[in-house]
Structure 1
Amino acid sequence: MADDRRLKVLSAIVTDYVRTREPVGSKALAERYQLGVSPATIRNDMAVLEDEGYILQPHTSAGRVPTEKGYRLFVDEVARIKPLSIPERNAITALLAGAVDLEQVVARTVRALAQLTGQLAVVEYPSLKLTSLQHLELVALGPTRLLLVIITDTGRVEQRTVSLAATRVEGSDLHLPQVIDPLTLERLRTRLNAALVGRRAADVAPILAALAEHAPAEERALLSAVSEELVAALRPDAEERLVVAGTANLARSIPDFASIGPLLDAIEEQVVLLRLFTADPASGGRSLAGMHVSIGSENQDDALAEASVVTTTYGPREGDAVAHLGVIGPTRMDYPATMAAVRAVASYLSRFLSPTQAQDPEP
């Protein structure tokens, strides 16, 4: 659509309908918005918009409401990410201030995002496979068991229990437990950190294989057991972690959904949410200012056919995304405000992960 006036009419209809949840008529548009034309001209523009599928009339003699196609055009051509107000920026600072580790900051971030947008918020923990190792710790838990602690450069901490398998006594069917020697454990911890700190997940397996070739005999069994758990934790299909907040916000949006049950079920399973984050951007929706917005059927999932999803990425360095965050709500969504909040919260998380930067959210 190239007609700027009709775009303004569509924008006014979307804005009014998002605010009131009531069908919008030409008289209301003429009274509330400075469109510079008469109600009759607005009616003509609305007729064209309806013929082209951007708005529809839900009931005879009623006003018009945006369609999925109308929301799409609004986001692509009209919506502009508006800066956060000072109270909104202060709200982010107040909600997130005092977080001292990744667990706290993610928990507070998802609550802040749900509160700012009035939607369901989802934050993904930084993926182990996309981060760099900062430290490995090996702690003996008993004669044959130890705790492997993986700490990444994003502050994520993963713990794995490692058990040493019993070995067969040569020349017999007898199996004896392997006992962890504290000095051997310390030497292995030092060797692993020297080889792996600063390395990405994809580099770990070949480095461990090289270490195994040259490992002293007394370290081999221990190194093998630790390596197996470490590679498993960093494998490409390792389970990712999501935190969700604001489910009650969806409940308040029930009038916007014909049936909200399938959507709530999908959110509870979380597999749908992970698929939203990892989907090929070309499969549905559009990217705008570093964010991905998918509306209704663009979500490629029946459970989200009446929902809109706004997502973006965050990471410790510019252009180095390690995880996603976003919101899910009805298609009747305040897109400019939602995108602004998602962008600001992602900026805060990125700054938290990068200690060299300031901790204030972007405006």
Structure 2
Amino acid sequence: MKKDTPKNRRDCIFKHIVHSYVETAEPVGSQALSKRFNLGLSPASIRNVMVELEELGLIAQPHTSAGRVPTERGYRYYVDSLMRPEPLAEREKGWIGRQMREARSMDSLVENVSKAVSKLTGNAAIIYIPHMRRVSFLNHLLEELVEAEKLNDFFEEDEEVFIEGAFRMLAQPEFRDAARMGRLLQAFDEKSPIVRILIRDLEEDGLHVHIGSENAPAKLEGVSLVVRDCTLGGHPIGGVAVLGPIRMPYARIISVVDYVADSVGRAMERF
């Protein structure tokens, strides 16, 4: 058990605020926290901690009489310092594996994977495979074409971006605003704002989380993007991503993206 220090108390209450707001999309008040969670603190004590969190810029009050909601800075602190990935259930892993095994071509694999990611996360899934038409061919040449210069000789210039499940994302309360929805639909239509972020992220291994205004194009402010590279034979071939509201269940989505990115490269070896 963690020592009861002011910082640990703030972190505990802040995590409950994040989890409650992610689940309900409603501002969180001290009374609700006191009733829902066994914090061992009175509503007055919780209010005092929430004042501290607000002074730190981690939460904000959207309306005069409302509770508090996490800020972009708060979500960044949560993801970097407090969040623990939520492991996938074995049945979910098995279902993902079946979706991949049922694919009979590279196209159908990408389609099945994107649909699976969207369904598991409740948001828009993005699969980015540059030069996808050559991936299957390259799979048979990787042992010989080990140098990047040689591999590049076989690359095509067109980029393959698959977006699935935008309707799930747009059904969430954040996108009831017509102007925000319009900007996001334009980004989906153009694809280039999303592709630029993916290309930049995939230059480095590992998982990347972009929150709100960290997404450079204005069209993508107000959303978060979780990106992870995938490889084939040790060579990067693209990435798996989820796009959703800033109020997304990061622990769940990061686990899904991580697992699928690790699995999809192995599945592509069949083609």
TM-score by length of 2: 0.86
Deviation at 1:202, TM superposition (A): 1.8
Q: How many residues align?
A: 262
Q: Deviations over 1:44-86 (max 9, x none)?
A: 1100111221111112222111111111111111111111013
Q: Is the 8 A contact 2:229 2:261 kept in 1?
A: yes
Identical aligned pairs, as a percentage?
34
Deviation at 1:256, TM superposition (A): 4.6
Equivalent of residue 119 in structure 2, options 115, 119, 124: 115
Q: Deviations over 1:305-344 (max 9, x none)?
A: 10000000011245x3221110100001000001011111
In structure 2, distance between residues paired with 1:257 and 1:56: 21
Q: Which amino acid aligns with 1:8?
A: C
1:293 is the counterpart of 2:209: yes
- Name the residue aligned to 1:52: 56
Deviation at 1:280, TM superposition (A): 5.7
RMSD: 2.8
List alignment gaps of at least 5 residues for structure 2: 1-5
1:74 is the counterpart of 2:21: no
Q: Which runs of 4+ in 1 moved over 6 A?
A: none
1:269 is the counterpart of 2:190: yes
Q: Which SS does the other structure have where 2:163 is aligned?
A: strand
1:332 is the counterpart of 2:250: no
In structure 2, distance between residues paired with 1:331 and 1:128: 30
Deviation at 1:92, TM superposition (A): 1.4
Q: Which has the higher helix share?
A: 2
Flag the 1:331–1:31 CA change in 2: closer, same or farther, 3 A.
same
Equivalent of residue 35 in structure 2, options 15, 31, 37: 31
Flag the 1:80–1:204 CA change in 2: closer, same or farther, 3 A.
closer
Q: Is the 8 A contact 1:126 1:322 kept in 2?
A: yes
Q: Which SS does the other structure have where 2:232 is aligned?
A: coil
Q: Is the 8 A contact 1:120 1:244 kept in 2?
A: yes
- Name the residue aligned to 1:246: 165
Deviation at 1:250, TM superposition (A): 2.2
- Name the residue aligned to 2:3: none
Q: Which amino acid aligns with 2:221?
A: A
Q: Is the 8 A contact 2:101 2:267 kept in 1?
A: no
In structure 1, distance between residues paired with 2:8 and 2:175: 29
In structure 2, distance between residues paired with 1:22 and 1:34: 20
In structure 2, distance between residues paired with 1:77 and 1:201: 36
Q: Is the 8 A contact 1:114 1:246 kept in 2?
A: yes
In structure 1, distance between residues paired with 2:265 and 2:36: 40
- Name the residue aligned to 1:234: 155
Deviation at 1:347, TM superposition (A): 1.6
In structure 2, distance between residues paired with 1:128 and 1:96: 16
Flag the 1:77–1:350 CA change in 2: closer, same or farther, 3 A.
same
Deviation at 1:274, TM superposition (A): 0.9
1:255 is the counterpart of 2:174: yes
1:97 is the counterpart of 2:97: no
List alignment gaps of at least 5 residues for structure 1: 135-150, 155-192, 206-230, 356-363
In structure 1, distance between residues paired with 2:259 and 2:16: 26
In structure 2, distance between residues paired with 1:281 and 1:49: 34
Q: Deviations over 1:131-160 (max 9, x none)?
A: 88x7xxxxxxxxxxxxxxxx2218xxxxxx
> Which range is displaced more, 269-278 or 256-265?
256-265
Flag the 1:299–1:30 CA change in 2: closer, same or farther, 3 A.
same
In structure 2, distance between residues paired with 1:308 and 1:296: 5
Deviation at 1:296, TM superposition (A): 0.5
Q: Which amino acid aligns with 1:274?
A: V
Deviation at 1:34, TM superposition (A): 2.9
1:198 is the counterpart of 2:149: no
In structure 1, distance between residues paired with 2:147 and 2:166: 35
Q: Deviations over 1:155-182 (max 9, x none)?
A: xxxxxxxxxxxxxxxxxxxxxxxxxxxx
In structure 2, distance between residues paired with 1:338 and 1:40: 34
Q: Which SS does the other structure have where 1:107 is aligned?
A: helix
In structure 2, distance between residues paired with 1:93 and 1:281: 24
Q: Deviations over 1:261-291 (max 9, x none)?
A: 1111111111112101112689xxxx9x931
- Name the residue aligned to 1:83: 87
In structure 2, distance between residues paired with 1:292 and 1:250: 20
